[in-house]
Chain A
Amino acid sequence: MKKFGKQGKKETPPISTASLPDIVFMLLFFFMVTTTMREVTLKVRQTLPHATELTKLEKKSLVSYIYVGVPHAQYQRVYGNEPRIQLNDQFAEVRDIVDYIVVERQARDEAEVPMMVTSLKIDEYTKMQIVQDIKQELRRASALHINYSARKRVENL
Chain B
Amino acid sequence: MTTTLVSVTSGRLGRARSRALLTGILAAVVVALVATSLMVGQTFYGPGEVLRVVLGQHVPGASFAVGELRLPRTTLALVAGLALGLAGVTFQTMLHNPLASPDVIGISSGASAAAVVAIVVLRLPESLVSLVAIGAALLTALVIYLLAYRDGVVGTRLILIGIGISAMLDSVVSYVIVRAATWDLQTAMRWLTGSVNGAVWSTVAPLTLAVLVLAPVLLAQARPLRLMQHGDDAAAALGVPVERTRVIAILAAVGLVALATAAAGPIAFVAFLAGPIAARIVGPGTSLMVPAALVGAVLVLGADLVGQHAAGNRYPVGVVTGVLGAPYLVHLLIRTNRAGGSP
A and B bind: no
Q: Using a CB–CB distance below 8 Å, which chain A residues touch chain B?
A: none
